[in-house]
Amino acid sequence: VTINVIAEKLLEGRPATMQFLKQLGVDRLGERQQIVNAACKAERTGKLPQEDGKRTFRLNKSSDQFCATALLATVDEIKQRGNEAFKAGSNDLAANLYGDAIRAAREASKDEDAQPEASKLLVSLHSNVAAAFLKLEQWDAAIQAASSVLEVESDHPKALYRRGTARLELGQPEA
């Protein structure tokens, strides 16, 4: 199966593409998401393989928006998995999932139309990863994550609390 086939499948929607990949034997959700993201990126940048000197799949504004929308849906799915891991006390897993979602949300934020939603997700994800880092007693990482939230929303109560808690643990109450 070529990237062109996957890119064409994207027109049927993200769920159909994910199911298609699962039928092909790509069992891990993360691997399917990476393949879909790669197809979106290849399509968006015009780097799809060519046949007979012509691109086999034509990029247009709606398909570019679809890729960003698909990526944001993936971010939300990863975030939900992170939330479940956090609630279950699997803080390492939660932090890793939130980190993956942050990287994907940053990618999605490059699309002008997706930027507002991606920004909201990034605030939430950084706040969540700060909470996971607190549980893991990774104080510097918690401060950095909470500070990322506060750069966008200077009065975010959870981020202020999490950064303050981490600073107290490091003996920096007035940093």
Mean pLDDT (whole number) for 105-124? 88
Distance CA 151, CA 167 (A): 17
- Give the pLDDT confidence of 49-84 residue by residue, as tens digits: 444 443 333 333 444 555 667 778 788 888 999 999
Mean pLDDT of 104-130: 90
Residue 33 has pLDDT above 90, yes or no: no
| Structure confidence at residue 45 (pLDDT) | 62
**pLDDT > 70: percent of the chain:** 74
The pLDDT of residue 159 is 97
Residue with tokens 């799809």: 48
Name 51's bridge partners. 54
**DSSP per residue, 88-133:** TT-HHHHHHHHHHHHHHHHHHTTSTTTHHHHHHHHHHHHHHHHHHH
pTM of the entire predicted model: 0.67
Q: How would you classify the pairing of strands 50-51 and 54-55? A: antiparallel
DSSP 51: E
- Give pLDDT tens digits for 139-160: 999 999 999 999 999 999 999 9
The tokens of 111 are what? 């699309």
pLDDT at 71: 75
* 50, β-bridge pairs: 55
The count of other CB atoms within 10 Å of the CB of residue 28 is 9
Report the pLDDT value the prediction gives residue 1, as an integer from 0 to 100.
Answer: 52
Count of C-beta atoms within a 10 Å radius of residue 112: 10
